[in-house]
Chains A and B, each alone.
Chain A
Amino acid sequence: MASIYLLLIFLPMIAAFFILLINNSSFRKAIVFLMSAILIGVALYSISQGDKVIVLSHSLNSALEYLITFADYFLLAIIFLIGTKLKNKLISLLAILQFVLMFVFEFKVGKLDVENVFFVDHLSFIMLLLINIIGPLIAIFALSYMEEHEKHLHLEKSRQNIFFTVIMLFLGAMNGLVISNNILWVYFFWEITTLCSFLLISHDQNEESIKNATRALLLNSIGGLSFVIGIIFMYYKSGTVALNEIISSQDSSILMIPIAFLTLAAFTKSAQMPFQSWLLGAMVAPTPVSALLHSSTMVKAGVYLVLRLSPVFIDTWLSKIVAVAGAFTFVSAALLAIFQSNAKRVLAYSTISNLGLIIALSSIAHRYAIYAAALLIVLHGVSKALLFLCIGSIEQGIGSRNIEDMDGIKYKMPIVAFLTLLGSVSMLLPPFGVLITKWIAIEVSTQNIAAMLEIILGSAFTVVFWTKFIGKILSDGKDRNKIEKFEFIKHIPLMAISILVVLVSIFLIQFTNMFVVPFFKSSFARYSGVSSTNIKELYVKDFFGFNPVVFFGVLVAAVVLGALIYRWFKPKRYVPVYMSCENSDNFGFRGEKDKVVSFEFKNYYFETLANEKTVTLVVNVLSIALIAIMFGVILK
């Protein structure tokens, strides 16, 4: 029984080893497809087993214990060496500090026995679904993307084996992170994801990518150090390092200090302000990497940790500050997204913004806030995976990731343009679920007026940058030549993810009943403020009267009706745009001496009001202040 959980962690890692060893394209393809099928199968099987606390045989447990302890030090040594190689003393220093603290801690307290190796509940299931369905689909997409990518780079020797090795390692580590019960193990997998993201961001090995990867490593090392301090405090405050014991702990007040440090670690991993710069820098990596980092791995580890620890600290002053800090990231990242014309940066800021919302929701003491937080992890994951892969395809198609160059993309690359549209609409409009979580966020945040004001403003900003983005994808362009060819290995993963985007939103309530409510019941049972009303299954009327099926029904009806009306109004005549009757065509007018003057219109980026740099500076200062307040609150 325990073996399926071990499989989830170690199978991708073994596959990674073989991919590294055998640098052969068809072998790699076979392994990626095989692993995808196995991972999805195993994940679904483990979910069918229900909530579990896994005890391994004594010998296996201690073997694993030694293995992971050793590997952990090894990992820190590698990060130290990378630091010295990059001539970045800070990274090396942070690695040494983690090493020493960890070593002294483990030496002093001796062997930390955690009998229950794996603690698998419905929150783990949600994460497993995300990691093992979206992750492999991105990997399959990357097969075709990376070939094209390397063609552009004119490499003599393919480095794809390293790329896919890291991706497989990443998926294994993420699985480990979400099912481990021993927080030291969580830390180990946490550090692997840091290393993996460093390797993936620096994949192209040019100056810019190495620089950005270094920044990612540095900021995540700060998080790593914070994590270690959190663990040590946790042990001395509660006498345990087992997650399931911590979250059922009766006295939350003594745990405030460790929770604050772990939350800070989560902030770095989820790229919350002021740590957002590493995720933006990560844009230089090949697009499947961005898709992976933003949807099913890396940044989701941070919000997972906050949501996991939420039962311990919810409705304390600490949680109120965390909610304000998360909501602050929500509003400021949305504001920064308005200034962006680079599609990937828009998406990156939108991710940061949504992660902020998830963190805010995770720390608001309200049943629906927790529901919405868990739902948003999934909804955001699927939509963002789709959007990044689409933007990657567009970039390879038209050679630019600037939104201003996407005029007429609906003619040039109809399939991808349509899927991009679906992805961005799912982040903004009803009846898709992301809107519902925003709606819940405003209604529940009335408990915390500062967070609420931030969410109100952020909500308006979100509408602005998404509308600009969608408007551009739908706009007319001069060049209407279709350049898109259907490629099985590239388009099938895209379509699969877009089907998931729609399905998750249609079955939002069923999904909540199946996964989120049980998680809430088991984790928040002891917390009376949240669960005072007896928790039953979620019926339609409980969800603020929102029924996705009805809304999708109205949508379908409207489309059918629209088609009929279209037949009725069928345009009889197409005309050029109005240019005071001086058109040459849709893209120019006759000027002096009938000379054709072409015009173009660009989106507003509000450069005259403010720019990204100043706003970033202000936002960073404010968010550092918030973090200082967060730590100030817990000091007695």
Chain B
Amino acid sequence: MKQALIVLASVVLSPLIGGLLTGIDRKITARMQNRFGPPILQPFYDIFKLFSKETIVVSNTQILYAFLFLVFNIVAVVMFLLKMDLLLILFILAFATTALILGAMATNSPYSRIGAHRELISVLAYEPVLIAMIVAIYFVTGSFNIQDILKHNSFLILDLPFIFIAFSYVLTIKLRKSPFDLSTSHHGHQELVKGITTEFAGPVLGLIELGHWYELVLLLLFVWLFFAKNIFVAIAAILICYFLEIVIDNISARLTWKIMLQLTWSVAFGFALVNLIWVYIKYRLL
């Protein structure tokens, strides 16, 4: 019964939180650019409008992929809140992205296909870092299960500071923010039009937007994991982390995929690796 409530709450609350955060993002971004910006509830108005539009597609299968993207994201969030296996959650999250990529590749549009391939390169960049993060958490806590990880008696961040830095780094890629907004950006005027989402419109685009909100919540839950000892510290950390992402988004220009790949594999993965090895020595060998 309790589990059913958690499932229901996470399915209903996550998009509300995700949408709200997106609204705040837009507001802050606007203020940083000396604009007044839309109201904080604007993302909700947008999505209602999207769902009230006519369904226009290039290819029928697009609807399926958009739907799968949403479903996989919801499943990942639910699994996280049911405190299941972290690695499996990561796999599910990866398949949400895969669904989106396949959706973009289903049409013959060069914009969306290039976007899809850039997204694929992003996967190549961040996936090893994310898995390394989870393995490092395992070394410290002795478990892949969130249930057991939460029983750890101190802040995870104390053991995993470099891992957290690496994670914040790939968070920028995962949230598709500058300098790593290669596959799609929040502004329509880039060289790829809207990249991976170019060919989605109306309610189908709405499904993807909704999926993004779940994704955002899940990623911030990962941040929470590092500070789970104290709920207030965790909320503060999440907000600071998210704010920093917005700042970085606004002060940097886009990099090419090659630079992204090189930077992520050297800097972020390097950071993760160093931390991974020291916790391995500390908790396994000593």
Contact = CB atoms under 8 A, between A and B. Distances in A.
A472 B106 CA distance: 8
Given A439-B87, A604-B120, A604-B121, A571 B60 contact: yes
Interface in A401-442: 407, 428-430, 435, 439, 442
B55 A476 contact: no
A475 interface: yes
A459 B75 contact: no
B67 interface: yes
B242 to A, nearest CB: 26
A551 to B, nearest CB: 10
A430 B91 contact: yes
A492 B272 CA distance: 50
Interface string B84-108: 1101100110110010011001111
Max chain B Cβ within 10 angstroms of own Cβ: one of A577, A579, A599? A577
A472 B75 contact: no
A570 B55 contact: yes
A609 B121 CA distance: 12
A208 B116 CA distance: 37
B67 A452 contact: no
Contact of B123 (A464, A571, A578, A579): A464
Interface string B108-124: 11111110110011011
B199 A577 contact: yes
A470 interface: yes
Contact of A468 (B67, B107, B120, B128): B120
A456 B108 contact: no
A529 interface: no
A236 interface: no
Given A456-B128, A558-B68, A578-B111, A476 B87 contact: no
A443 interface: yes
B58 A470 contact: no
Contacts of A540: none
A37 B201 CA distance: 53
A449 B124 contact: no
Nearest to A470: B102
Interface string B56-77: 1111110110011001000100
Interface in A561-608: 562, 565-566, 569-579, 586-587, 599, 601, 603-604, 608
A476 B199 CA distance: 13
Contacts of A599: 110
Interface stretch (B28-36, B132-140, B228-236): B132-140
Contacts of A566: 63-64
B44 interface: no
A439 B88 contact: yes
A467 interface: yes
A456 B88 contact: no
Interface in B172-216: 193, 198-199, 203-204
Contacts of A572: 54-56
Given A459-B131, A558-B71, A569 B87 contact: no
A1 B261 CA distance: 61
Interface in A347-373: none
Interface in A452-479: 452-453, 456-457, 459-461, 463-464, 467-468, 470-472, 474-477
Contact of B105 (A430, A449, A475): A475
A489 interface: no
B106 A578 contact: no
A400 to B, nearest CB: 19
A453 B273 CA distance: 9
A546 B88 contact: yes
B85 A544 contact: yes
Interface in A273-324: none
A562 B138 contact: no
A191 to B, nearest CB: 41
A476 B106 contact: yes
B127 interface: yes
A545 interface: yes
B84 A574 contact: no
Interface in B227-281: 258, 261, 273, 276-277, 280
A475 B204 CA distance: 18
Given A452-B135, A464-B124, A476-B106, A562 B58 contact: no
Interface string A553-564: 010001000100
Given A467-B98, A475-B106, A609-B258, A571 B57 contact: yes
Contacts of A471: 101-102, 105-106, 116
Contacts of A443: 87, 138, 144
A513 B205 CA distance: 44
B194 to A, nearest CB: 9
Given A439-B87, A449-B280, A459-B127, A569 B55 contact: yes
Contacts of A609: 258, 261
A577 B105 contact: no
A601 B98 contact: no
Contacts of B120: 464, 467-468, 604
Given A586-B108, A609-B258, A460 B128 contact: yes
Nearest to B202: A569
B285 to A, nearest CB: 10
Contacts of B127: 459-460, 463
Nearest to B88: A439
A475 B108 contact: yes
B235 to A, nearest CB: 29
A435 B75 CA distance: 17
A479 B106 CA distance: 15
B102 A460 contact: no
Nearest to A478: B108
B226 to A, nearest CB: 19
Contacts of B91: 430, 435, 439
A471 B261 CA distance: 22
A446 interface: yes
Contact of A601 (B59, B101, B114): B114
Interface in A65-120: none
A476 B54 contact: no
Nearest to B131: A456
Contact of B204 (A456, A474, A554, A569): A569
Contact of A460 (B55, B92, B123): B123
B258 A474 contact: no
Contacts of A467: 98, 101-102, 120, 123
A447 to B, nearest CB: 9
A474 B135 contact: no
Nearest to A461: B124
A545 B138 contact: no
Given A456-B132, A558-B68, A545 B85 contact: yes
Contact of A586 (B58, B60, B67): B58
B84 A545 contact: yes
B277 A449 contact: yes
A572 B53 CA distance: 11
A446 B108 contact: no
A516 B123 CA distance: 34
A116 B123 CA distance: 53
21 contacts: A407-B108, A435-B91, A442-B87, A453-B132, A463-B123, A464-B120, A467-B98, A468-B117, A468-B120, A474-B102, A545-B84, A562-B68, A562-B71, A571-B57, A572-B54, A572-B55, A575-B56, A578-B109, A578-B198, A604-B117, A609-B258
Top 7 nearest A-B pairs by Cβ distance? A471-B105, A577-B109, A460-B127, A476-B108, A456-B131, A601-B113, A604-B117
Given A467-B102, A572-B54, 12 more contacts: A442-B87, A442-B135, A460-B131, A467-B98, A467-B120, A566-B64, A573-B56, A574-B58, A575-B57, A577-B111, A586-B108, A601-B108
Interface of A: 407, 428-430, 435, 439, 442-443, 446, 449, 452-453, 456-457, 459-461, 463-464, 467-468, 470-472, 474-477, 544-546, 554, 558, 562, 565-566, 569-579, 586-587, 599, 601, 603-604, 608-609
